[in-house]
Structure 1
Amino acid sequence: MKKLALLASLFLFVFTSCENEIDDSEYTSVAVPVKQSLQEFRASVKIQEPKDIQESGKIYAWNNYIFINDVQKGVHIIDNIDPFNPKNVQFINIPRNMDVAVKDNKLYADSGTDLVIFDLQDMNNIKEIGRVENVFPNVFPQTQLNATFIDYENFDPEKEVIIGFVIEKRKIEYATQPNWEDAFFANSAESSTGTGGSFARFSIKDDYLYVADDQKLSVFDIRNPAQTTLLNQDYAGFAIETLFNYEDHLYLGSDRGLYIFSIEDAAKPKEVSYLQHVLGCDPVVVEGDYAYVTIRGGNFCGQENNQLDVVNITDKHSPFIEQSYQMTNPYGLGIKGDWLFVCDGADGLKVFDKSNTPNLELIDHFKEINTYDVIPLEERLLMVGDNTLYQYSYKGNEVNLISTFTIN
């Protein structure tokens, strides 16, 4: 087990091991899991001193704090009481973490197969107070790995958790296709709630926490946080990537389209419609009668199209794409009044006037920065990219950079 821990610390979460001078036509790539016992995995959740970030992921804002996900490793806590001088104050080591949400001083976070609940009442003494075990998939969707096959032959999901992968080259006759889909579905003044970015898979409404994983939508009862319970878990669609909550509806972005669910019965989401679009990664945000969807091509996202779609959702049962705009390599997006903010990857942050939606007008462009996701708050805009937190102020008709903060 010590060898596995050492292996996980020395190598990136997914890396490629290959031999030189091989005939590629005779070989294929196979992802081999790096495993850890469930007992060790669950015991590794700890509150630690601040540390450098390895790979910034999603961001979440709550009161004077910003939570920045370190992909698959945990959450950095930033004290942002002074946005001109943010401070990295703590790190919560949460293996296999990708998302968080906060309500009433309670932090909800995924950790591999589990949902973990923390008490934030005393930010100097954060405590784990609850855990719902075996509610999320114990394996990874193949679309997230640069491999043709995944070798689950020696993996026991009842006793182990996958904490990474080694990508190997194997001769085709020895690389058999596993039934990974079956394994994936195996269950193994201040605001009380916070605000997530457009890549969020967690969302809280009243006494319910909604969580989207690759193919399922889960509903948790959080009235008693220490004894959070899973109420519902149903198939939602294929390759779900993001979840956005707006006016009694959930909008789920997948790499194939947009799913709309009604939560008028909050405990039992019901699918209303599905809009198919070109293949690509796609966060979504919603306001009024329109949803705004960025579609990114390349890598495992599918084709090479990069665009911003404006979707008319006046009739939730019959949404349609009303207008599309060419983008460079778009990621997250957010809305503030008449402004639509789009993170266009290495092409920077783009600000659109959406007052005449579906006709958008580009009114500002912050170039020479690599952008990932944004959260438009009441008084300022938060953006993360390249392990850096950017903060912008709104002044009249202008958006101005006020600080940058690199977590290293």
Structure 2
Amino acid sequence: MKFKYLFLFLIGCLFVSCSSDDQQFEYYKVAKPITLSVEELRSSVEILPVQNITTSGKIYAYQQYIFINDVDKGVHVIDNRNPLQPSRINFLKIPLNRDVSIKGDYLYADSGMDLVVFNIADINNIQMVGRVENVLENYIEYPEEAQFYNWDDYDYQNDIIVGWQVTVERREVIQYDDEAISVGDSSGNSSGSGGSLARFKIVNDYLYAVDNSKINVFDIQNLTSPVKVNEEYVTWEAETIFHENDKLFIGTRSGMYIYDISQPSSPQYISDFDHLKFCDPVVVDGNYAYVTLRAGASCMDGETQMLESRLEIINITDIYNPQLEETYFMDEPYGLGIKNDHLFICDGASGLKVYNKADVSNLQLLQTYASINAYDVIPLGDKLLMIGANKLTQYSYTDTGIELLSEFTIQ
């Protein structure tokens, strides 16, 4: 009988202990970095046959070809000589690639902290011809859902983060003074056209590449051997670049910054226009800059969202004193583009929207292609290119807007 009571007592103690223990632990999403060594990163560039796409990013148009970024993996090369039936040619495997720009049959691409150069004169036999090391600030995108980070096997001196593995783990509850959860222990003569989300821009003999905080200036007079000649600090979280006349317009999460490039190797700050923290591509036409501001966790870095997503039209008649002209609310805007009096806005899951912008104080919505997920557009002379959700869509211009030419899913 004594043994019976002793057994029950021990079971009771164990139950109390477990209950108390459960109150001290919770399940969290923990992100662990997937890494490559610097040597592995630099040796893994390849020209491969056609590959399936994982996540479509930005697009770039050059001559009769389209280059579609597969986020952090490389570039899909598309033959667009027949816009009604585009076809894939090959795939440039470029780890940590987000942007490209082309001049005179030479393609420049970022690969983490490096700039790599390809000769694309023979599109069926592309050759890597150069690499400039450690000239860009490597961009690391952290998973939004992660609550903790596991850095145990990460060597920050020799490892490059190329992705994340997110798992659910049972961890001890830690009380923080603020509301945010800490993220762990961190011991030729021609060029092409990019969209409004581009970080690369070629102007004459110079390539301007925006990283997290700077404009990096490369002299590309020798197309095979770019030379970094300058860098100009802008602000933290610089995102996009647009060129108009002798000005660069830099979109950042906190505002639009304007630089003069009359002296091409030395961008000079002119002015800026501040806004609350949002994702921020910009395009310019005449006296107005058009900026889409997208709200959401990925743009706010966990900060409280104060405003709705919107289009802001900024009067830059006085380039030294930009002023807000008009505001239009949007759903989920990403890239945008302009062709004559038409303004094209990629409004995410709400589709591609076409406006008449002849009167900026009274934009007129002409068309909505709501059945597509729109990410970015490039208005070319004879057609409009749009990318979103791994699909390339092409339109012809009409007097009242655009007309669908073709849809091409990259699988």
Q: For residue 201 of structure 1, what is the aligned residue in structure 2? A: 199
Question: Structure 2, unaligned stretches of length 5 or more?
Answer: 1-20, 176-180
Normalised by the length of structure 1, the TM-score is 0.86
- Give yes or no for the alignment of 1:227 onto 2:230: no
CA contact (8 A) 2:261 2:267 kept: yes
CA deviation string 1:172-231 (max 9, x = no partner): 669976898xx9xxxxxx971000011000000011100111112100111112221111
1:323-361 Cα distance to aligned partner (Å, 9 max, x none): 000111111100000100001111111111111224311
The aligned runs of 1:103-142 (5 Å cut-off) are 103-138=103-138, 140=140
Post-superposition offset of 1:298: 1.0
Could you tell me which residue of structure 1 aligns to residue 383 of structure 2? 380
Distance 1:380 1:191 in 2: 23
For 1:364, the equivalent position in structure 2 comes to 367
The offset of 1:92, in angstroms, is 0.5
Q: Tell me how large the CA RMSD over aligned residues is.
A: 2.5
Q: Is the 8 A contact 2:390 2:409 kept in 1?
A: yes
CA contact (8 A) 1:139 1:162 kept: no
Q: Which position in structure 2 is the counterpart of 1:335?
A: 338
CA contact (8 A) 2:24 2:173 kept: no
Q: Quote how far apart the aligned CAs of 1:234 are.
A: 3.0
Show CA shifts across 1:286-321 (max 9, x none).
Answer: 010100011111122122511111011111111111
Contact 2:354 2:401 in 1 (8 A): no
- Whole-angstrom CA distance in 1 between matches of 2:22 and 2:255: 39
TM-score by length of 2: 0.86
Please give the alpha-carbon distance, in whole angstroms, between the structure 1 residues aligned to 2:152 and 2:39: 21
Give the whole-Å Cα distance in 2 for the aligned partners of 1:223 and 1:314.
33
SS in 2 for 1:40: helix
Structure 2 CA distance, aligned partners of 1:207 and 1:383? 28
Partners of 2:64 and 2:79 within 8 A in 1: yes
Q: How does 1:316-327 map to 2 (within 5 A)?
A: 316-327=319-330
> Using the alignment, how far apart are the partners of 1:382 and 1:22 within structure 2?
55
Query: SS where residue 401 of structure 1 aligns?
Result: strand
> Max radius of gyration: which structure?
2
Q: Would the alpha carbon gap of residues 23 and 76 (structure 1) be closer, same or farther in structure 2, given more than 3 Å must change?
A: farther
Q: Does 51-60 or 389-398 show the bigger shift?
A: 389-398
CA shift for structure 1 position 43: 1.2
Amino acid at match of 2:274: Q
For residue 278 of structure 1, report the CA deviation from its aligned partner: 2.4
Q: Secondary structure at the match of 2:279?
A: coil
1:397/1:177 CA distance change after superposition, 3 Å: closer
| Residue 242 (structure 2) aligns with | 244
8 Å contact kept, 2:139–2:211: no
Task: Flag the 1:366–1:251 CA change in 2: closer, same or farther, 3 A.
Answer: same
Structure 1 segment 153-172 matched on structure 2, within 5 A: 155-167=154-166, 171=172
Q: Look up the SS of the partner of 1:42 in the other structure.
A: helix
Q: Give per-residue Cα distances to partners, 1:117-152, cap 9 Å, x unaligned.
A: 00011111110111010112246265x654466566
Q: Give the whole-Å Cα distance in 2 for the aligned partners of 1:249 and 1:145.
A: 34
| Secondary structure in 1 matching 2:349 | helix
Instruction: Determine the structure 2 residue equivalent to 1:92.
Output: 92
**Identity percentage over the alignment?**
46
Deviation at 1:25, TM superposition (A): 8.5
Q: Indicate the residue corresponding to 1:389 in structure 2.
A: 392
Q: List alignment gaps of at least 5 residues for structure 1.
A: 1-20, 184-189
Q: 1:284 to 1:176 in 2, by over 3 A?
A: closer
Residue correspondences, number: 379
Q: 1:277 aligns with which of 252, 275, 278?
A: 275
3-state DSSP of counterpart to 1:233: strand
Q: Is the 8 A contact 2:30 2:147 kept in 1?
A: yes
